[in-house]
């Protein structure tokens, strides 16, 4: 018996020694790899030799153009998002170059000029739903002020908009106030922050134990299928304009299981990206307007001057809201909803004279480019008038303002988003004054998008007179 015990202890001791040796060798290897890597010669913040990765952050118009346009064939999308959010699948957000060309051609007609013109009425209808919700809250406030969780309410607003415009589906989340899909998307977004991605890098099996995200994705998958089935079972009209889901169903009609899975991924992607980025942009814009009451007043005066008290906003009127448009651009500059876009080098490349080895992760800095003092005067200050000249552009230098990215993989819904944001803002400014919540401080937290943390709260009051 003692002999068997001695053998068992020896085996465990050998295994433990082997494990310790492996860890030490791995640490030495990672340290040497980090020290002698060509990436260590690139200027920037010091890296982490043990838990860090082969990642380079690039910024500035020429470097961004290099990665996203002129040498884009040398870079592919990384699989980081798919690892934590498998429901994105092979959709437009994550697919390869060849698939992207095919998918882009398939869905781009849904965002045509003629389609967008008809969507303004939907933008305004949902915005009026939000106005009614906030007005009801104000009616029970004796002070005439009401604390609202603007981030959550705007998230519901943009979810309803993308549901109606892209899928012909009414989530009714503004009025319900407690939408299951909105909650699920928030849970999914929260697991894409740096700490979770780092844990997954160190322990690849970590993602299988993060049950909150798994449960959230189960909910979203069920709702996505419900949206698809409702559209499939609805009466087809030959006269109405085709929305995004109409075109997807047309393309994948009777298709293979693989294509059906791709369609599900497309719906998930457009639901997530189509409402999240817009709600974040709206939240940061209202945040800046609450901090800058003189700019808010000027914007409201323009809205009334252009729109009067007319309840209907037409597409042509949106272009006349020049100052409001500059406010939106300045908010997108100072608070880019997407902090960076990430690529992986599939062959060796040279950027700005530095070797980028094959396999290197390259983070293309949208937000960092937006605050480079070389191109922006007082970059940390909210100054909408900086967009007043050069036809609404910050300067004659290309690729320094890119909230929707640049190149063939730039955001397909950028015109949709800008029209949506302007319509919602104009509607809200006609009805409310926005004020900071005393004692609350909001910091950006980088996830799939850059949300205010904690969730943005504002004080609202009704317009006088």
The DSSP secondary structure of 159-211, one letter per residue, reads HHHHHHHHHS----HHHHS--HHHHHHHHHHHTTSHHHHHHHHH-GGGGGG-H
> Could you give the CA distance from residue 50 to residue 33 in angstroms, rounded to a whole number?
10
Greater model confidence, 279 or 103: 279
pLDDT score at 392: 58
pLDDT in tens, 101-145: 888 988 898 898 888 999 999 999 999 999 999 999 999 888 889
> Could you give the CA distance from residue 118 to residue 124 in angstroms, rounded to a whole number?
11
Q: Which residues of 274-284 are buried (b: 16+ CB within 10 A; e: fewer)?
A: bbbbbbbbbbb
pLDDT score at 5: 44
**Are 458 and 429 spatial neighbours (Cβ–Cβ below 8 Å)?**
no
DSSP 3-state percent helix, strand, coil across the chain (nearest 5): 60, 10, 30
Residue 71's pLDDT band, with cuts at 50, 70 and 90, is very high
Q: Which of 70-74, 186-190, 399-403, 458-462 has the lowest mean pLDDT?
A: 186-190
DSSP label of 66: I
pLDDT score at 2: 45
Residue 434 φ/ψ, nearest 5 degrees: -110, 130
Residue 334: name the closest of 414, 395, 434, 401 by CA: 401
Beta-sheet pairing, 443-446 with 432-435: unpaired
> Could you give the CA distance from residue 239 to residue 224 in angstroms, rounded to a whole number?
26
Residue 135: CA atoms inside 13 Å, Cβ hemisphere, count? 12
Residue 464's pLDDT band, with cuts at 50, 70 and 90, is confident
Which of 56-60, 292-296, 397-401 has the largest mean confidence?
Answer: 292-296
pLDDT score at 10: 55
**Are 78 and 390 spatial neighbours (Cβ–Cβ below 8 Å)?**
no
Greater model confidence, 40 or 340: 340
> Could you give the CA distance from residue 303 to residue 362 in angstroms, rounded to a whole number?
42
Q: What is the mean pLDDT of residues 235-249?
A: 73
> Could you give the CA distance from residue 12 to residue 360 in angstroms, rounded to a whole number?
38
Domain boundaries, the chain: 37-462
DSSP label of 412: T
pLDDT in tens, 145-169: 999 999 999 999 999 999 999 999 9
The pTM of the full predicted model, rounded to 2 decimals, is: 0.87
> Could you give the CA distance from residue 189 to residue 196 in angstroms, rounded to a whole number?
11
Residue 140: CA atoms inside 13 Å, Cβ hemisphere, count? 5
pLDDT score at 214: 75
Residue 6's pLDDT band, with cuts at 50, 70 and 90, is very low
Residue 211's pLDDT band, with cuts at 50, 70 and 90, is low
**Are 341 and 364 spatial neighbours (Cβ–Cβ below 8 Å)?**
yes
Per-chain mean pLDDT for the chain? 84
Which H or E run includes 461? strand 458-462
Peptide bond into 418 cis (omega under 30): no
pLDDT at 216 over 90: no
> Could you give the CA distance from residue 303 to residue 394 in angstroms, rounded to a whole number?
23
C-alpha angle 389-391-392 in degrees, rounded to nearest 5:
70
> Could you give the CA distance from residue 420 to residue 332 in angstroms, rounded to a whole number?
14
The residue count of the chain comes to: 465
Greater model confidence, 197 or 178: 178
> Could you give the CA distance from residue 178 to residue 162 in angstroms, rounded to a whole number?
17
pLDDT score at 137: 94
Residue 411 among known ligand-binding residues: yes
pLDDT at 270 over 70: yes
Q: What percent of the chain has pLDDT over 70?
A: 79
CB atoms within 10 A of CB 422: 23
Q: What is the mean pLDDT of residues 230-255?
A: 75
Return the bridge partners of 148, or none: 458
The separation between CA 388 and the C-alpha centre of its own chain, rounded to angstroms, equals 26
Q: Which of 178-192, 308-322, 434-448 has the lowest mean pLDDT?
A: 178-192
DSSP label of 268: H
pLDDT at 9 over 60: no
Could you tell me the end-to-end alpha-carbon distance of the chain, in angstroms, rounded to an integer?
94
> Could you give the CA distance from residue 65 to residue 58 in angstroms, rounded to a whole number?
11
The CATH number of 37-462 is which of 2.120.10.30, 2.60.40.10, 3.30.160.20, 1.10.630.10? 1.10.630.10
Q: Which of 200-204, 268-272, 275-279, 436-440 has the lowest mean pLDDT?
A: 200-204
Residues in CB range of 305: below 8 A, 6 or more apart = none
Q: What is the mean pLDDT of residues 190-212?
A: 60
pLDDT in tens, 20-34: 776 666 555 555 555
pLDDT in tens, 362-395: 999 999 999 999 999 999 999 999 998 766 566 6
């Amino acid at each position: 018996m003692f002999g068997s015990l001695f053998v068992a202890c020896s085996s465990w001791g050998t295994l433990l020694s082997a494990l310790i040796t492996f860890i030490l060798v791995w640490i030495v290897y990672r340290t040497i790899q980090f020290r002698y890597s060509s990436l260590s010669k690139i200027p920037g913040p010091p890296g982490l030799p043990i838990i860090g990765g082969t990642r380079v952050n690039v910024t500035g118009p020429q470097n961004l153009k290099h990665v996203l346009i002129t040498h884009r064939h040398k870079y592919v999308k990384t699989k980081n998002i798919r690892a934590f959010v498998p429901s994105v699948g092979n959709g437009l957000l994550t697919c390869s170059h060849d698939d992207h060309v095919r998918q882009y051609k398939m869905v781009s007609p849904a965002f045509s000029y003629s389609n967008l013109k008809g969507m303004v009425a939907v933008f305004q209808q949902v915005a009026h739903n939000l106005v009614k919700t906030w007005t009801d809250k104000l009616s029970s406030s004796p002070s005439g002020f009401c604390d609202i969780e603007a981030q959550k309410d705007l998230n519901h607003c943009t979810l309803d908009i993308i549901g109606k415009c892209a899928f012909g589906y009414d989530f009714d989340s503004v009025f319900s106030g407690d939408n299951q899909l909105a909650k699920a998307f928030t849970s999914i977004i929260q697991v894409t922050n740096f700490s979770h991605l780092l844990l997954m890098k160190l322990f690849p099996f970590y993602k299988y134990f993060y049950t909150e995200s798994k449960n959230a994705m189960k909910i979203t998958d069920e709702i996505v299928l419900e949206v698809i089935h409702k559209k499939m079972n609805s009466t087809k009209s030959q006269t109405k304009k085709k929305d995004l889901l109409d075109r997807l169903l047309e393309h994948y009609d009777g298709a293979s299981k693989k294509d059906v899975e791709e369609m599900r991924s497309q719906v998930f992607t457009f639901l997530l990206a189509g409402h999240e980025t817009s709600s974040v942009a709206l939240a940061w814009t209202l945040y800046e307007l609450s901090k800058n009451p003189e700019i808010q007043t000027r914007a409201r005066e323009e809205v009334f001057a252009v729109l009067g008290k007319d309840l209907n906003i037409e597409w042509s009127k949106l272009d006349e809201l020049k100052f409001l448009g500059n406010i939106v651009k300045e908010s997108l500059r100072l608070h880019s909803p997407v902090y960076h876009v990430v690529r992986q080098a599939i062959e060796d490349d040279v950027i700005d004279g530095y070797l980028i080895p094959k396999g290197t992760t390259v983070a293309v800095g949208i937000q960092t480019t937006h605050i480079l003092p070389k191109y922006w005067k007082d970059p940390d200050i909210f100054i909408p008038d900086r967009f007043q000249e050069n036809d609404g552009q910050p300067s004659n230098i290309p690729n320094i303002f890119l909230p929707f990215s640049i190149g063939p993989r730039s955001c397909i819904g950028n015109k949709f988003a800008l029209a949506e944001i302007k319509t919602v803002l104009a509607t809200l400014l006609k009805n409310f004054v926005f004020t900071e919540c005393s004692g609350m401080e909001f910091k950006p937290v980088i996830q799939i998008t850059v949300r205010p943390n904690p969730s943005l709260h504002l004080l609202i009051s009704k317009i006088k007179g």
